């Protein structure tokens, strides 16, 4: 067995107000292990705007700014500019936002910050819906999922549109580094966070963040479901460095139903619908592999 390389140091105290089994707690924990204490966060409206705790408590050992829902990218540019004026270069400024705050309401400011080449890291913790407000669909909700605004009544109005491909959107900005990370693979996660920290320019990390209440699953299975997302190729782990893609952790290629069946948000799907999802996942993953082979 190879030795564990995850730093033992913790930059988050216990006491976040996250739900039992919250994936976003782990995302923050591993991210800060990778980035270290010379980090400043800006966090818009999202679960993590509540999770640090009520004033005057604060469960993180790094300072953070609370910013407006749609303003994370702009907040990053403002923070970086202020640090530059003060001659502080060794601090990583990090935007930490949910999927709604990233792919929906925050997309404009995110795009602006990327285009401006703000030297910052943006982390999207993706629980695939507006979870802090009680499970409403976002542009990052996958096809087929139940949410409170895609109800599965007699007309079966589950989410009929595919998940917005934020990694491609960010890659199209020509940013130097983008990566996907999973709370089931902390070593890969921490390694990518460290790498992102050392790249100059705008960096983007997409973290899948299982949400037991929103995904309607057992809170004890957070890491398991995150692992299954990788092993079924629903959420492949890869990085795009200066335009070249590399799959960093191969999944086992398990059938997608293994991932879907432990989440009741997909419980209404027929075999035919699951098959359709499988085909979509297979085709996306194949394209990723082919691209890696081309660029490798």
- Contacts of residue 46, defined as CB under 8 A and 6 or more positions apart, other chains included, come to 69, 97, 98, 100, 101, 125, 132
Nearest approach, Cβ of residue 124 and another protein (Å): 18
Beta bridge partners of 240: 178, 245
Task: Kindly state whether residue 160 participates in binding another protein, applying the rule CB under 8 A.
Answer: no
Cα separation, 199 vs 177, whole angstroms? 7
Cα separation, 197 vs 147, whole angstroms? 35
Q: 69 with 98: CB under 8 angstroms?
A: no
Task: Kindly state whether residue 107 participates in binding another protein, applying the rule CB under 8 A.
Answer: no
Three-state SS letters, 149-207: CECCCCCCCCCCCCCCCHHHHHHCCCCCEEEEEECCCHHHHHHHHHHHHHCCCEEEEEE
Stretch near another protein under the rule CB under 8 A, chosen from 20-28, 106-114, 164-172, 197-205: 106-114
Q: Quick one: which of 287, 222, 229, 221 has its CA closest to 258?
A: 229
Exactly one of 79, 140, 179, 260 binds another protein (CB under 8 A); that residue is 79
Stretch near another protein under the rule CB under 8 A, chosen from 77-85, 123-131, 132-140, 205-213: 77-85
Exactly one of 9, 88, 148, 293 binds another protein (CB under 8 A); that residue is 88
Stretch near another protein under the rule CB under 8 A, chosen from 78-86, 132-140, 209-217, 250-258: 78-86
Task: Kindly state whether residue 228 participates in binding another protein, applying the rule CB under 8 A.
Answer: no
Exactly one of 62, 175, 217, 245 binds another protein (CB under 8 A); that residue is 62
Torsions phi, psi of 39, nearest 5?
-135, 140
Nearest approach, Cβ of residue 72 and another protein (Å): 9
Residue placing its CB nearer to another protein in the complex, 75 or 127 = 75
Exactly one of 1, 2, 3, 86 binds another protein (CB under 8 A); that residue is 86
Stretch near another protein under the rule CB under 8 A, chosen from 111-119, 135-143, 168-176, 285-293: 111-119
- Contacts of residue 207, defined as CB under 8 A and 6 or more positions apart, other chains included, come to 27, 31, 123, 124, 125, 126, 180, 181, 182, 183, 189
Q: 205 with 176: CB under 8 angstroms?
A: no
Stretch near another protein under the rule CB under 8 A, chosen from 52-60, 143-151, 183-191, 195-203: 52-60
Exactly one of 16, 25, 75, 150 binds another protein (CB under 8 A); that residue is 75
Burial of 136: CB neighbours in 10 Å, binned 0-12, 13-18, 19+ = middle
Nearest approach, Cβ of residue 36 and another protein (Å): 10
Q: 291 with 243: CB under 8 angstroms?
A: no
Residue placing its CB nearer to another protein in the complex, 65 or 254 = 65
Nearest approach, Cβ of residue 213 and another protein (Å): 19
Task: Kindly state whether residue 179 participates in binding another protein, applying the rule CB under 8 A.
Answer: no
Which residues sit at the interface with another protein, rule CB under 8 A? Answer: 37-40, 42, 49-50, 52-58, 60-68, 70-71, 73-79, 81-86, 88, 91, 108-109, 111-112, 115-116
């Amino acid at each position: 067995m190879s030795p564990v390389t995850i730093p033992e140091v913790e930059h988050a105290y216990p006491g976040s107000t996250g739900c039992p089994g919250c994936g976003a707690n782990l995302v923050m924990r591993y991210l800060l292990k990778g980035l270290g204490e010379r980090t400043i966060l800006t966090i818009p409206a999202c679960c993590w705007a509540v999770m640090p705790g009520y004033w005057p408590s604060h469960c993180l050992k790094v300072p953070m700014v609370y910013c407006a829902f749609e303003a994370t990218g702009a907040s990053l540019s403002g923070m970086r500019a202020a640090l530059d004026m003060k001659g502080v270069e060794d601090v990583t400024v990090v935007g930490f936002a949910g999927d709604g705050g990233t792919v929906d309401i925050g997309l404009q400011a995110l795009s602006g910050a990327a285009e401006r080449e703000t030297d910052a890291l943006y982390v999207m913790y993706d629980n695939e819906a507006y979870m802090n407000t009680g499970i409403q669909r976002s542009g990052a909700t996958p096809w087929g999922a139940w949410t409170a605004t895609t109800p599965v009544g007699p007309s079966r109005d589950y989410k009929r549109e595919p998940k917005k491909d934020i990694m491609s959107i960010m890659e199209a900005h020509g940013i130097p580094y983008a990566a996907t990370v999973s709370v089931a693979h902390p070593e890969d996660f921490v390694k990518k966070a460290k790498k992102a920290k050392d790249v100059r320019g705008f960096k983007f990390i997409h973290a899948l963040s299982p949400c037991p209440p929103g995904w309607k699953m057992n809170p004890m299975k957070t890491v398991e479901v995150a692992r299954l997302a990788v092993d079924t190729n629903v959420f492949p782990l890869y990085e795009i460095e200066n335009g070249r893609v590399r799959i960093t952790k191969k999944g086992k290629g398990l059938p997608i139903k293994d991932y879907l069946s432990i989440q009741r948000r997909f419980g209404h799907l027929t075999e035919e619908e699951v098959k359709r999802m499988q085909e979509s996942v297979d085709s996306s993953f194949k394209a990723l592999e082919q691209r890696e082979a081309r660029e490798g």
